[in-house]
Copies of this chain bind each other. A is one copy, B any other.
Amino acid sequence: VGKVIVDLSMSLDGFITGPNDSIELPLGEGGERLHDWIFGGKSDRSGTSPRTSATDSNREVLDEAFETTGATVMGRRWFDIGEKPWGDDPPFHVPVFVLTHHPRETIKKGKTMFTFITDGIESALEKARAAAGDKNVDVGAANVAQQYIRARLVDELHIHLVPILLGGGVRLFEHLGTEPIELKKTRLIELPDVTHLRFRVIK
């Protein structure tokens, strides 16, 4: 059966966006830097699919993530931010379950179906697991990932560690409670511009 995965790019100081993120600037100031490994350093990323822009080993890491992901759970904020920039064919190509307090009808865009879930993270995960079959369920970004980590529902962390100190932004790891969560490193791929780390959560 599939696993529940948090898969995000993080600065050495723990941020997944730069400072002052907003609807207009979803990655905050300088936050695009975190995705240089995906976009090969290309600065104009409009209309560029993350599925095809990474090169070499980074491309393999990304291909593997896309191939093994069978469903995604995200927060409503991330959906609202992404809806426009993702355009007619959002890059997921798997069922996406959006956690929200405000019901909305299921919509299909290109190869991606978005279903809005109002009855909590466990319900969303149940539906995502059913949709994913043997594949993994990806949960994120930070706020949603934190809820699943806190509920001890995450199996693996796939962290793409980027060599920069951003100094501010959205922190990936906070609000986790103060009970330590032991991890086991299960894979490390060292590249010049990013270190791909994989951890299993010990339960």
Q: How large is the interface on A (under 10, 10 to 19, 20 to 34, 35 or more residues)?
A: 35 or more
Given known A13-B14, A185-B195, A190-B188, contact A167–B177 (CB-CB < 8 A): yes
Residue A18 at the chain B interface, CB threshold 8 Å: yes
A-to-B contact residues, CB < 8 Å: 12-14, 18-20, 29-30, 33, 149, 157, 159, 163-168, 171-174, 176-185, 188, 190, 192, 195, 197, 199
Q: Complex: how many Å from CA A190 to CA B189?
A: 10
B177 touches A163 (CB 8 A): no
What B residues does A199 contact at CB under 8 A? 12, 163
For the complex formed by this chain, how many copies does it contain in all? Answer: 2
**Interface of A: prevailing SS:** loop
A165 touches B149 (CB 8 A): yes
A164 touches B180 (CB 8 A): yes
Q: Complex: how many Å from CA A168 to CA B173?
A: 10
B159 touches A165 (CB 8 A): no
